[in-house]
Amino acid sequence: MRCCVRINSKAQPSYEQAKPASGTRRNQRAGKKKKRQQRQLRRQQRESGLIPPATSSPSNSKSRFQSTEEESAARTEAVSGLIAIMRQMLPILLGRLGKIPDPRNPKKLKHQLTVLMIYGILVFVFQYGSRRAANGEITRPMFEHNLRLLFPQLESLPHSDTLFRLLCRIDVGHIEQAHIDLVNKLIRNKKFTRYLINNCYPIGIDGTQKIAFSALWDEHLLQRRIGPKVDPDSDEKQSYQYYVYVLEASLCFRNGMVIPLMSEFLEYEPGDGEQRKQDCESKAFHRLAARIKQAFPRLPILLLLDGLYPNGPIMQRCREYHWDFMIVLKDGSLPTVWEEYHSLRHEQEENRWQQDWGERQQLFEWVNAIRYEYGPNAKKAIDIHVVVCRESWEELAPDTLEIVTKESKHAWISSRPLSRLNVHTRCNLGARYRWGIEGAFLVEKHQGYSYEHAFAKQWNAMKGYHYLMRLAHLFNTLARFSKELSELFSELGVQAAIGFIRNTLTGPWLDPQDIAQRLDRPFRLHLV
């Protein structure tokens, strides 16, 4: 007799069904443990007199708007705030851009040159990733209608290819000059005075690859060999990559505000190649430094440079221009300087300073007036000052969730003698914020500005789009740190805030009369 047993599938879940639930519970327990450990760590830091870092992540809560009226008011406020900042700069911008010689036939012009420039800036302000994407949305009737409310100059919007053809033919250096004029205006209006370091404007300079290609579409592209070296006697061809490299200069302030300033493209010149060194960051630095000096001849500047730049000619160039500097000094760089530092630091025990900064405990040690000799036969010399910062802090180990102690070391060359009165300002508020320019690269490459997209495979036009992108980044940065919009950017995050403004223009959110009244009000930019 066969015995049959009925199994209730609902009452007896399978192993495959139960496993995810168990895993979920384990993840929940791990998450709770991590939060407990984080609270314990912050409590220990506060009890020790340290200041735990503030969290800067956008809110993960539901929308704060309770009605369409409330949302409409917020959208109107956001759009009018951004546009008010741009319109305040328009007279300077249009004054400079209006001087660009227009190579087009005046009898066949449909759009003025300045209109095309405004359109190009808006493409990057609203963070469109390509010419095609901008074409598809900006020219929609509602978007175009709203833009004309904000910019009456835009009687009709051009096709993006019209801007491309113009950038191929004009001197795009005028676009960057308009950018420089805007920054000069902000400096003259004392917008950045509260962020100065030893009464100097901190400027970070760093290089980055913009784009790379397998094909040579312009003679200005740099080239490098890829893959194994090929025997010249063989029939096999060597593979090369062609790329664009840019040296960027930006104002890097201690509140995290990074203002794009100037770009220097590295370019291939006839005669360059494997037998003759191509254009490099060192050469580009001297060109860029000369341009900065010409644009801001009397501006007190503190240069923030990475470990590529500690060499005699660059430091001497800074001295000639009367610029202050803080340069990263790596362990293997300038051996004679390191030898002098280690031999003297024990003899100058008064040159020490210990402090708590945020969640970190810091020990500074410095040696002033180290003689650095350089050049052929060491005939040239310059006095420099070296500071080393050793710091420790506690954090949670990601694998065990135990509180562990971390340590790090940083070293810089200073153009000014160090003391207890200035070491914190120069190192923590100045030199360490050189990361701001690297953060700006990250933003421009991966957070909306499509830095690594060529927009045009024509050298002059490619540079023009680059200058328009940097100009748009300037406007968005001012908006982010403005009194009117800082709360919105903090709440949503930068990309989401810009998306919020852009999406507002796609729908019937704006009241023409309200917008006109808002834009007619006197406006003055206040940075927080």
pLDDT higher than 50, residue 9: no
pLDDT higher than 60, residue 50: no
* β-strand partners of 356: 361
- Is residue 119 in some structural domain? yes
What count of residues does the chain have? Answer: 528
pLDDT higher than 60, residue 306: yes
The pLDDT assigned to 400 comes to: 77
- Is residue 204 in some structural domain? no
- Is residue 503 in some structural domain? yes
The pLDDT assigned to 14 comes to: 44
What's the whole-model pTM score? 0.86
pLDDT higher than 90, residue 53: no
Query: Per-residue confidence at 10, pLDDT binned at 50, 70, 90?
Result: very low
E runs forming strands in 397-493: 403-414
pLDDT, tens digit, 9 for 90 and up, residues 241-298 = 999 999 999 999 998 899 999 999 999 876 555 444 578 899 999 999 999 999 999 9
DSSP 488-499: HHHHH-HHHHHH
What is the overall mean pLDDT for the chain?
88
Count structural domains, the chain: 1
- Is residue 56 in some structural domain? no
- Is residue 202 in some structural domain? no
The pLDDT assigned to 260 comes to: 95
The pLDDT assigned to 298 comes to: 96
Categorise residue 101: left if φ over 0, alpha if ψ from -120 to 50, beta otherwise: beta
Mean pLDDT across the stretch 174-185? 96
H runs (alpha helix) in 328-451 = 335-344, 423-424, 435-446
- Is residue 101 in some structural domain? yes
The pLDDT assigned to 16 comes to: 44
- Say which residue the tokens 């400079």 belong to: 96
Give yes or no for a contact between 329 and 413, defined as CB atoms under 8 angstroms apart: yes
pLDDT, tens digit, 9 for 90 and up, residues 27-48 = 777 677 667 766 766 666 555 5
The pLDDT assigned to 108 comes to: 87
pLDDT, tens digit, 9 for 90 and up, residues 108-164 = 888 999 999 999 999 999 999 999 999 889 989 999 999 999 998 888 889 999 999
pLDDT, tens digit, 9 for 90 and up, residues 380-437 = 999 999 999 999 998 888 777 788 899 999 999 999 999 999 999 999 999 998 888 8
Mean pLDDT across the stretch 325-352? 93
Say how many C-beta atoms besides its own lie within 10 A of residue 312's C-beta: 17
- Is residue 375 in some structural domain? no
Give yes or no for a contact between 326 and 302, defined as CB atoms under 8 angstroms apart: yes
CA–CA distance from 212 to each of 222, 363, 463 (Å)? 9, 43, 15
The whole-angstrom separation of Cα 101 and Cα 87 is 23
| pLDDT > 90 fraction of the chain, expressed in percent and rounded | 64
Angle (CA) 208 212 214, round 5°: 160
The pLDDT assigned to 30 comes to: 67
What range defines the domain where residue 146 resides?
Answer: 68-176+456-520
Tell me the torsion sign for CA atoms 477, 481, 482, 484. positive
Mean pLDDT across the stretch 350-369? 93
Mean pLDDT across the stretch 203-229? 91
The whole-angstrom separation of Cα 338 and Cα 331 is 8
Helices 312-320 and 281-295 sit at what angle, rounded to 10 degrees?
Answer: 10
The pLDDT assigned to 250 comes to: 96
Lowest mean pLDDT among 374-383, 406-415, 460-469: 374-383
**CA proximity to 312, closest of 368, 247, 372, 377:** 372
Angle (CA) 322 303 409, round 5°: 130
- Token pair recorded at residue 97: 């851009």
The pLDDT assigned to 221 comes to: 93
The pLDDT assigned to 64 comes to: 84
pLDDT higher than 70, residue 54: no
Is residue 23 helix, strand or coil? Answer: helix
- Is residue 397 in some structural domain? no
